[in-house]
Structure formats: structure tokens, C-alpha cells
Amino acid sequence: GLNKLRVSKKVMPEPQEGELKIRVKACGLNFIDLMVRQGNIDNPPKTPLVPGFECSGIVEALGDSVKGFEIGDRVMAFVNYSAWAEVVCTPAEFVYKIPDDMTFSEAAAFPMNFVTAYMMLFEVANLREGMSVLVHSAGGGVGQAVAQLCSTIPNVTVFGTASSFKHEAIKDSVTHLFDRNADYVQEVKRISTDGVDIVLDCLCGENTGKGLSLLKPLGTYILYGSSNMVTGETKSFFSFAKSWWQVEKVNPIKLYEENKVIAGFSLLNLLFKQNRSGVVKVVMDKLLNLYNNKKIKPVVDSLWALEEVKEAMQRIHDRGNIGKLILDVEKAPTPLMANDSTETSEAGEEEEDHEGDNENKERMPFIQ
């Protein structure tokens, strides 16, 4: 639950061989962070843990044998947990220099969303001119990255689902936009009778079968998340089981007969379990080239202080964001109508849980 989040002090990390020490300026929030908190992932790490998988900041120290970086470099990085901190250490292979005109908040919004979107579209699904793509959560960080990358290829049609209150803000980035609660299968088929070439699914559950049914011959369905399993503030075994029960049972013979491709994509596993940082670096180079040529630009929804992480996570949970939520390490918390809702503790201290801490309180983030 949100009441288990604490801001605490820990011993300063020092870089090991091959690592960089980064003074963090901004951290990215992703839906996977909610799943980590709830334990909705395979083999969740033991608590207490520091969440977060990406950040931006300034190189403060170099471990032995690190080449290509200097103290003072502005960088963005993938981190295998522990990104939500003032200082992080991570291997140099996961670190990239930031373009001069990119802000720290944009840099923290860049790696996870754009690498995920690029690799799914171009490495897995082989997006080409004239194709069509269906993406869920079109207003989120990955959804907006997908829309921007699709616009770099001629005549790509993007079908998107999103909460209706987001439609006005994102309507120009998506060709056809549907309410996330509507029957999008019928809507897509009404516009494109034979379906779409690529389905990008971060929802899972019943959307797996729907996505497969919409694929054209030689089309590709990619599962890259399972946000439908996060239904409340804490893990619900009922919703978890229901979501898996709704997943279409995939029959390889049927795939063969219908000429369809089903795939999965996990950037974090690719980086930290399967040692493919070299592949990701090639993709990052291409993405930074697109950024420098003004073809893509991260969309930052809002900036939050570290102490405001509960409210930030709630905003993601409620699907309230358009683009990326960022933890700004240097930002002071916005005063609450009542007392602050996130306790600060020294390492090792345990506070009591204060039930109803978040009731009747409101805190507005700094909207960029």
C-alpha cells in the first residue's frame, strides 16, 4: 500500500569497478513501479527496497576502468532498482550523455518510454510505411512515445485508447482515438475492416484475445505490461487470477493458420537479466539522433518532490497523467491542506501506519 512508502536516509553509495556515481536531478515513474510496490512481479526483491529504474543527473565519481565519461557530465541512466534517490551508482553500460538542450526532467522521461516504444515498433514488429498500430493507454509515457515514433514513418495510422478526459490533449498525436471503456474492437473494424498490423498491449487480461482478433495476416501482437492486474492500492489475488483467467489461450496451430505473430517485450529483463545493453545502446543512439533532429520529444506530465511520491503513484494508478511523471529531487514539497502525508525516517526506523492518512487532503503537483 501507499502507506508503506517512506523517505529515509541511507549510507552514501560509492561506485564499484565499471560504475558511475550520479548526483540525481530527476527520476522517472513508471507503471512497473506500482507493480513492484504491490509485489505483482515475478520474484519481487525483499523489502525494504528503494524503487525506480531510471534517472538523470550529473556524474560525480568514476569507478575503476570507466571510459568515455568525465566528472560533471550530464547523463541519463537505467538503474536496477534504487533510482529514487539523491545519489545512485550504476554500471557505465547503462548510462548515456544528455543532449545540451534536453532538461533533466525530459532526460528522466526518455530512456524507458522511448526505448520500449522503439524496440517494439522497429525491432520486434518491423514497422514500415503504410502500416497501422493499435496502442493502449495512448496518453501515457509509452503511448505518447509510440505516437511520436509512428509519425517518423510515412502514412502510419495510429489507433489509440485512452480515458476520455485526455482526448483533447492527445488528439493530434493519434489518428483515431477511442475511450478506454468503449468497445474499441468494433470501432477499429468499422474504420479498418481487416484490422491492424501491430497491437501494443500494456493491459493484458481480456485485451489479449481482443488484440489477437484485430491482427491482420502477418500482424504482430506484443504484450509489454499487465496493468489490469493493478486494480487497487494493494495486491488483489482475486483480480490477479481474474486477469490471467481472461487471457486468451494461445494455440500455436491457430497462429500458423492465421499467419499471426504473438510476442512479449520487457526492457528491464532485456537489460538486467539478459545482458543486452549493447542492443539498447544502439537504439538509444538512434533515438538521440531523432531527438536532435526535433523528430521526438519526451512529454512530461508533472514534477513531484520525493516526499510526494504517494500522490504521484496515485496519479499513475488513476490513469490521470498525460506523458511522464517525474520525481524532481531538488523540488520542495507543495504544502498540503493538512499535515504532510509522507513520513520521513532515518534508516531502520519503523513508524506506525496511520490509517486514513490521505483522507481529505489535496496536493497539486507542479504541472509543466
pLDDT at position 35 over 90: no
pLDDT in tens, 109-137: 999 999 999 999 999 999 999 999 999 99
- Architecture of 114-271 per CATH? 3-Layer(aba) Sandwich (3.40)
The set of residues, in sequence order, having a beta carbon less than 8 Å from that of 33 and lying 6+ positions away, is: 51, 52, 53, 313, 316
pLDDT higher than threshold 60 for residue 56: yes
List, in order, residues 6 or more apart from 183 with CB less than 8 Å away: none
pLDDT for position 207? 83
Q: What percent of the chain has pLDDT over 90?
A: 69
CATH of the domain spanning 12-111+289-328 = 3.90.180.10
Per-residue pLDDT of 180-193, as tens digits, reads 888 999 999 999 99
What ranges do the domains of the chain cover? 12-111+289-328, 114-271
- Higher local confidence (pLDDT), 122 or 206: 122
- What are 24-34's pLDDT values in tens digits? 999 999 989 98
Q: Of the candidates 190, 160, 203, which has an alpha carbon nearest to the alpha carbon of residue 178?
A: 160
pLDDT of residue 75: 98
pLDDT at 293 over 60: yes
Confidence of residue 345 (pLDDT cuts 50, 70, 90): very low
- pLDDT at position 241: 58
Q: What confidence tens digit (pLDDT) does each residue in 323-339 have? A: 999 999 999 988 764 44
Grid cell digits, residue 272:
538486467
Check residue 153 and give its pLDDT.
97
- pLDDT of 150 > 90? The answer is yes
pLDDT digits over 64-83, tens only?
A: 999 999 999 999 999 999 99
pTM of the full predicted structure?
0.88
Number of other CB atoms surrounding residue 239 within 10 Å? 16
Give the pLDDT of residue 43: 78
Residue 65 pLDDT: 96
Q: What is the pLDDT of residues 226-284, one digit of tens each?
A: 765 555 655 555 555 555 555 667 788 989 999 999 999 999 999 999 999 999 999 99
> Do 12-111+289-328 and 114-271 show the same overall fold?
no
pLDDT recorded at residue 231 = 56
CA angle 80, 113, 248 (to 5 degrees): 95
